Amino acid sequence: MEKKIKIFKIGSCRSSINEYVLPDIDIFYNYDFCHSTKEVLQYIDFMEGKKKLNKNKEMQCIMDNPEAYDAKYYKKYYDEADIIYIEVSSIKIFEYDSYYYSQTRYRSFTENSNNVELDTICYSMTLEQLENDIEEIKKRINKPVIFQGHYDVSRLVDKNFNKKLIETRKLIDNALLNSADYKIILKNILKSPSIMLSKYNESDFNHFSEIGYKTIGEEFNKIVKKILKY
């Protein structure tokens, strides 16, 4: 039996490409979704024991069912991986008590009227901050890292897409182009937005169709071959 190429993935549903990679590639997913570089670094801290979850209820803002998270279990697969696959889809940061929160988990938590209101620090990262985090991630991981950004939907502005989000996605792409050694720039490979972005409905600009995921998987395969020279 041939040795599998082991990938450890940190990101969201937009990088769920396991069905579209080469047969000898095995992708192991991180415990829960995350969207920002700060969350990526925090998960690395959890796995390396530099930061720990506490018993406070607001840990639900970081991940789903935090009491079930086993950092040592995920660290094993992280250490064994030949390549780390990281998706960055947001520059929005939610910080409280030295923890970085997931956008989706934080919003779910705050929408629950039984939870106390948190004095959370919210801000958007700059290009320089993104680039610094990417460099820090590469340094901490010290093995090949494939970065993926979000989809720059500039071609869809006529459909009243949020122009601020377009600039956000361009910022992520620019940071990856400037600082990542291996990167998937979605606007360069998803050439037909109306086909690639139709998983749920034609006005959903955040998720991909099967063709979209397949296209990302094909680009991922090319980069893996380049890294491992096969």
How many structural domains compose the chain?
Answer: 1
Task: Copy the structure tokens of residue 186.
Answer: 């979605």
**Strand runs (DSSP E) across 11-89, as ranges?**
25-29, 83-87
Look up the domain containing 104 and give its range.
5-228
**Per-residue three-class SS string for 45-58:** HHHCCCCCCCCCHH
Distances from the Cα of 149 to the Cαs of 114, 175, 191, in angstroms?
A: 35, 9, 15
**Residue 174's domain is classified under what CATH number?**
3.40.50.1110
**Strand runs (DSSP E) across 69-190, as ranges?**
83-87, 92-96, 99-101, 121-124, 145-148, 182-184
Q: What is the pLDDT of residues 167-203, one digit of tens each?
A: 788 999 999 999 999 999 988 887 766 666 655 445 5
Q: What is the pTM of this model?
A: 0.90
DSSP H/E element including 217: helix 210-228
Q: What is the pLDDT of residues 65-116, one digit of tens each?
A: 999 999 999 999 999 999 999 999 999 999 999 999 998 899 888 887 677 6
